[in-house]
Amino acid sequence: MKIESPLIVVFENDGKVQTHLYPGKWGYKEYGIVIADVVRHVANAFKVYENDVWEWVDKERDAPTSPAIEIKPS
């Protein structure tokens, strides 16, 4: 598989989670839909209820564990 137009790439680097977004033609509303889809996929992958995942999403929203920082291309 070759990924030519990524939307979101999330990975761990030196013990920290890094998230890179590639908005292109997509806006925040479309990304909101993708995020909701990811929550459903996570629930399915771990065989838990979707609301269990949303509970943790809400906890993170209320008290972020890391800042959203801009990463400038090199």
Handedness of CA 62, 54, 48, 17 (dihedral sign): negative
66: which 2 tokens? 């890391």
Residue 74 has pLDDT above 60, yes or no: no
Kindly report the pTM of this predicted structure: 0.76
pLDDT in tens, 14-73: 988 888 888 888 889 999 999 999 999 999 999 999 999 999 999 999 998 877 776 665
User: Strands, DSSP E only, in the chain?
Assistant: 8-13, 16-21
CA distance 37 to 34: 5
The pLDDT value recorded for residue 68 is 76
